[in-house]
Chains A and B, each alone.
Chain A
Amino acid sequence: MGVLVRVGATAEGVLVYLGSLAQLTGRALLLLFVSPLKRSRSLQRAIHQAMAAGVSAVPIVSLIAYFIGLIMALQGAYELKKLGAMQMVPALVAISVTRELGPLITAIVVIGRSGSAFAAEIGTMRVTEELDALSTMALDPIAFLVAPKFIAMAIMVPCLAVWADLMGVSGGCTFGILGGGFSAAGYFVNTRNNLVLSDVMTGVVKSFVFGIIITAVGCHEGFSTGAGAEEVGRSTTSAVVVSILMVILVDVVFTALFYLSGGA
């Protein structure tokens, strides 16, 4: 009995949490269209966020995606070599990176850099009454702080993912040239021949959703910060943990959907 009650309570908690995420996202979306604030200033804030969350993440995303591509090539070649199918390495790298690893690695890096930062920023503002100060200045915190983050992330995370795809393929290419007997041009041609547009597009679609989730979770955790510095730390931690979990779950769902809809 006790177990059932606990399962029920946990399920309810999860649903309430998801509900509040949806509510926050919905409100931010609504405030994008009927913004009580000046559009030009909101756009400025969105650009500022896009720089911080997107452009500044390019070096680390590049580095990690490049090595992941290289690792995929090495691991793939280890097995493919036995079959004498080394010419399959570019396809293996390209498909695994564009469909899965590029978007996923990007999401994880963005969670670590920006999801945590959103929670810490908003959480600190809550603790220091800055959120109340914004409210009393008739600056809705959701319109002022959250909506620009949603715009920035919805655009920048897919862009970063596409960039990660390119870097991953470059990593594979490095192996192809050094250990696989490919020329650089040959490797890229081979990659192109083995990719279809939908491989990249599924990654982009997933990244878009990841961006929304990371922003919603980070901001929600920030707003639900209690009193005190310790609470800011707790919010930041749970923003990262919950975001990673949700990104993986959504990844499973979307990948399954893409698979079922005809292997697109």
Chain B
Amino acid sequence: MREAVPGAPIISARQLRVRYGDREILHGLDFDIHHGETVVILGGSGSGKSTLLRTIVGLEKPHSGEILVKGTNLGRASKREIADIRKKIGLSFQGGALIGSLTVGENIALPLLEHSALAPSTVEVMVRIKLEQVGLSGFENFNPAALSGGMRKRAAFARALALDPEMLFFDEPSAGLDPIMAAGIDNLILNLKSAYSITMVIVTHELASAFLVADRIMVVDKGHIIANEPPQTLKNSIHPRVRQFLDRVPDSAADDNRVDHLRLYVEGTR
């Protein structure tokens, strides 16, 4: 495990609250992420972990509290300031979110062509290097729709890496992939970690991959952070919800008994 680098955190949240309409998703989170750290945000479905990621990259505005990325308060930053930060981050979406009207190569070239002064021939070389990095050499001219789910995720990684970002974000990198492909993605993240000093934030609910790649794991449950510690100590956590998550225990059977099955049935048949 890498020790947290001293100095100002690269991402920090203070009493961060996020709402969709009237529904509050994140209930006042506090955390810091330091330069070069690999932080895994672990949580069940609907825990708010994806919302947290979307807030860190400025896709959702905090309702109250603040989120600072490289010292910029995203809640109050101008569009230009946010754009400047976004040029330093790479985000790989759960479904890839490759632009469907462009080929895989054009997708990866897009941020390079738009944000750098590189000549098209250089960009072409860069695209080839990035694709090689994720094991997709030779797929430049494929349409995203022609790739499998795992390949699309890899292509999305390549696009996220295109501008050599300082911060990399992954939304569910191995969800919906077979174990071999998922292991390949974990390897890719480990390789990136050893090769560059990138700050990485990975949202996932895959325990094995979380413990494999993380320097620190934040467990999010119902919009609260219930654990924020290195994997070694998290393993021995005594927090009941954390234990339930780690030991894969379903929500208590008592909850089930509270449902009046007969009434549901009767109402259903009406």
Contacts and interface: CB of A to CB of B under 8 A. Distances in A.
B97 A128 contact: yes
Contacts of B94: 129
A83 interface: no
Interface string B90-115: 01011101111100000000110111
A199 interface: no
Contacts of A215: none
Interface string B120-132: 0000000000000
B79 A130 contact: no
Closest 9 CB pairs of A and B: A133-B97, A138-B86, A129-B97, A138-B83, A136-B91, A137-B111, A138-B87, A129-B93, A130-B97
Contact of A41 (B91, B97, B113): B113
Interface size on B, as a range, is: 20 to 34
B181 interface: no
A134 B99 contact: yes
Given A135-B86, A137-B110, 18 more contacts: A41-B113, A41-B114, A121-B101, A128-B95, A128-B100, A129-B93, A129-B95, A132-B59, A132-B97, A133-B93, A133-B99, A135-B58, A136-B58, A137-B115, A138-B83, A138-B86, A138-B87, A139-B114
A6 interface: no
Given A37-B114, A41-B113, A140 B79 contact: yes
B182 interface: no
A27 to B, nearest CB: 11
Given A130-B100, A133-B99, A138 B115 contact: yes
Interface of A: 36-38, 41, 121, 124-125, 128-130, 132-140
Contact of B89 (A36, A121, A132, A136): A136
Nearest to B107: A133
25 contacts: A36-B80, A38-B114, A41-B113, A41-B114, A121-B101, A124-B100, A125-B100, A129-B93, A129-B94, A129-B95, A132-B54, A132-B97, A133-B97, A133-B98, A135-B58, A136-B58, A136-B91, A137-B111, A137-B115, A137-B159, A138-B83, A138-B84, A138-B111, A139-B111, A139-B114
Contacts of A36: 80, 83
B59 A136 contact: yes
Residue from A36, A125, A130, A136 having most chain B Cβ neighbours under 10 A = A136
Contacts of A128: 95, 97, 100
Contact of A135 (B59, B84, B100): B59
B100 A133 contact: no
B151 interface: no
